[in-house]
Amino acid sequence: MLQGDLTIIFNFFYSTLCTLHSTLPFPIDNRERLGHISRMLPFSRHFRRLYLTTLVVATLYGCATAPTEEPPPPPPAVKPYPPPPAAAAPKPLPEPPPAAPVAREKAKVAAREREELLKYEEAVRLFREEGRAEEAFGMLEGFLAMHPGSTFADDALLEQARIRLSEDRPMEAVSLLKRLLLKHPTSHLKKRANLELVRIYYADRSWRDCIEAGDNVLSFDPLPDERVETLSMTAVCRFNRRERMEAVDDAIQAALLKAGGEVHSSAIAALEFIAGELKDRELDKVMSQSDGSEPYAIIAMVRLEKDIEKGYQTEAMAALMDLLIHYPGAIPEERIQSVYAGLRDRLLVRTNTIGAVLPLSGRYAVYGQKTLQGIQAALGFMAVTNDMGPETEYNLVIKDSGADPIQAAQAVRDLSETEQVVAIIGPIFSRTTRAAAQAAEESGTPIISLSPDPEIPALGVNVFRRSLLDSQQISALVRLVFDRLMMSRFAFLYPDSPYGREMMNLFWDEIDKRGGQVVAAESFPPGQTDFGPQIRAMVGLNRKMTQEELALKEAGVDIELQPIIDFDALFIPADFQTVGLLAPQLAFYDVNEVLLVGSDAWNSPWLVELGEHYVEGALFTGGFVQNLVNPEVRELAERYWLTFGEDPQALAVQAYDTGRIIRAGIESGAVSDRASLREYLMNLKDFPSAEGLLSTDEKGDILQTPYMLTVMDGEIVPYEIEFD
């Protein structure tokens, strides 16, 4: 009974204490001790007060952690695991640097790079925009010295190399590019540097170095244009290193790739060059691998053109048909048409038929007629004695050019396409020759002009010229007059025409080279017959009288001005008719004690007929002298007289020798078509003619050494003087 009351009192007291305890600022736990105290309450009363005090203390201690609900039963007892070994204390992580210094360092690096970029771009601008190459190079050199580790150092070296290339100093550029590759092995510019090396070595014909640099470029996976350019150059380099089949492979690969127009054209050019140099068996091997693509069509075309040049016309025509069947559209139409026209002309040309384009009408008809007579003489169209039959088997087709270039060009086309001539002689003047030469080049017909224009042979590979060079004549004249006859003062009296001005300028230049003096120069209109005004001006007869002369005249003395002849020689670059009229007028004005000097246009018997004794002792050039001891001259002179009743003039002799050159080539078997005639003319050497030995130079000029001629006792004879 007492125990139950105490329990009620205990519970009430416990709850009250716990309520009060919750307000305490410190914890009280160990509730299990309270249960133990409660069970001890029935013991002796002697200890009841002590237990009650202990109860209060334990209660205050246990209420702090006592849960509001009954705790779960304790788990079964198990053997505890030994405690784990004490772990080492973790190493503290380094503290990151403050954010502000990092930002400042980055900003510093960026500022430095901007400064370097500005310096680099300024140097580049000087070179690319203002063309100040040397100043830009120096700035880049200073940039590299100050910033050797700059991110733009490799760019600076590449730009320096380009500057040296612009100054045509390729070996210095090579040194700079090699320095770039050595100092900056990871540079993004390695491909571009090697490509520049390929270009330099290719231009310098350093084949091995070119191949090595080209292989380096290809290892960097270049862009299509760069790949095509590199393969094109390395193909040529390999070919020159005698790696012939490897060169063909590179060239074919370059031609197959898609690239820009100019780059693709260079690839095609490289392929055509290599194919043109391959031997027939090598071409057969290459074409056996053909897949019908454009490169193989080009190789087939090159082989076809080689066959045409060799004279294999029938085989070439068959090859052309195969090309059209197996490679349709691969070759430009205009090239196909050109080859076909050449084949047609070669297959259909008549070897014994020769054309002539001459001015047979108009004011220059007399020159055309004299030229025609020379051609007829060369081909056998001449009068013969009764015991001789016809001696020619040649056909001569003649076309009139007049003075019209368009008419001359059409005449060449008619002769080439309709008449199928093997060659054309003429025209004889520059304007008509230029137009005719273009038409001859289009048709592939060799044409031999008789024009004195020195630029004629440069008009095409089929264009030749048989005439004395003006420069040859002037050089020979000045050498004789200045160096041998010791004359240093000269006057000029020349027609105001292209020929007259050109000859005067050439003579003046030669005099200047030797330190001579030109004291007077007067011109006259072409066709003039009265040369008094020019002569009076040249010798000072138009001057005012001096004071002494005026005084004598006022005193009644008959005073006439005397000519002032302060020159040793008078150069007159005109034709023989003009000189025949001019020489007596010079004597009329007392211009007697001077040497008259002229060109091959004086070389005509009519010079003496018109000029009479006034041209005695005159000095001039010529390609032909009638009385020379020369079998060619004697034969020409005799038979020419029998046919035409006159002696041959210089233009007729040039035409005669031109016709004989063509005839000799045909009769020797060296000429069978137009191509072989062109080759025959280019290789002409010391051909015996009425004008001496004739040889063709590399330009296509059929040249001779000019004769020095004079008038002695009314005849034109060689001037007897020997040069060292």
Instruction: Give the residue, 313 or 698, on which the prediction is more confident.
Output: 698
**In the structure, what pLDDT confidence band is assigned to residue 425 with cuts at 50, 70 and 90?**
very high
Q: Name the percent of the chain lying above pLDDT 70.
A: 82
Q: What's the CA gap between 583 and 589, in Å, rounded?
A: 10
pLDDT above 90 for 354: yes
**In the structure, what pLDDT confidence band is assigned to residue 4 with cuts at 50, 70 and 90?**
low
Model pLDDT for residues 531-550, shown as the tens digit of each residue: 999 999 998 888 777 777 66
Please report the pLDDT score of residue 64 as a whole number.
Answer: 43
Helix (H, G, I), strand (E, B) or coil at 10: helix
Start-to-end C-alpha separation, the chain: 172
**In the structure, what pLDDT confidence band is assigned to residue 260 with cuts at 50, 70 and 90?**
confident
Please report the pLDDT score of residue 383 as a whole number.
Answer: 55
Choose among 236, 290, 228: nearest CA to 256. Answer: 228
Average pLDDT, integer, range 619-632? 78
Model pLDDT for residues 85-101, shown as the tens digit of each residue: 554 455 555 565 556 67
Please report the pLDDT score of residue 614 as a whole number.
Answer: 93
Please report the pLDDT score of residue 393 as a whole number.
Answer: 83
Does the CA dihedral 185-188-191-197 come out positive or negative? Answer: negative
Model pLDDT for residues 585-620, shown as the tens digit of each residue: 999 999 988 999 999 889 888 899 999 999 999 999
**In the structure, what pLDDT confidence band is assigned to residue 407 with cuts at 50, 70 and 90?**
very high
Q: Average model confidence (pLDDT) for the chain? A: 82
Choosing among 3.40.50.2300, 3.60.40.10, 3.20.10.10, 3.40.630.30, the CATH entry for 470-622 is 3.40.50.2300
Please report the pLDDT score of residue 206 as a whole number.
Answer: 93
pLDDT above 80 for 391: no
Token code pair at residue 334: 């205009």
pLDDT above 80 for 723: no
Q: Name the percent of the chain lying above pLDDT 90.
A: 41
Domain boundaries, the chain: 2-62, 114-162+172-188, 353-467+651-690, 470-622
Average pLDDT, integer, range 165-184? 91
Average pLDDT, integer, range 665-676? 87
pLDDT above 50 for 639: yes
**In the structure, what pLDDT confidence band is assigned to residue 649 with cuts at 50, 70 and 90?**
confident
pLDDT above 70 for 629: no
Choosing among 3.90.550.10, 3.40.630.10, 3.20.20.80, 3.40.50.2300, the CATH entry for 353-467+651-690 is 3.40.50.2300
Residues 320, 304: contact at Cβ < 8 Å? yes
Of 119-128, 252-261, 448-457, least confident by mean pLDDT is: 119-128
Model pLDDT for residues 20-71, shown as the tens digit of each residue: 445 444 444 444 444 444 444 444 444 445 445 554 544 544 444 444 445 5
Q: What's the CA gap between 326 and 597, in Å, rounded?
A: 67
Please report the pLDDT score of residue 93 as a whole number.
Answer: 57
Is the fold of 353-467+651-690 the same as that of 470-622? yes
Under DSSP, the state recorded for 94 is P
Average pLDDT, integer, range 488-516? 92
**720 burial class (0-12, 13-18, 19+ CB within 10 angstroms)?**
exposed
Q: What's the CA gap between 283 and 287, in Å, rounded?
A: 6
Under DSSP, the state recorded for 646 is S
**In the structure, what pLDDT confidence band is assigned to residue 7 with cuts at 50, 70 and 90?**
low
pLDDT above 90 for 584: yes
Number of neighbours of residue 42 by Cβ within 10 angstroms: 11
Average pLDDT, integer, range 217-234? 92
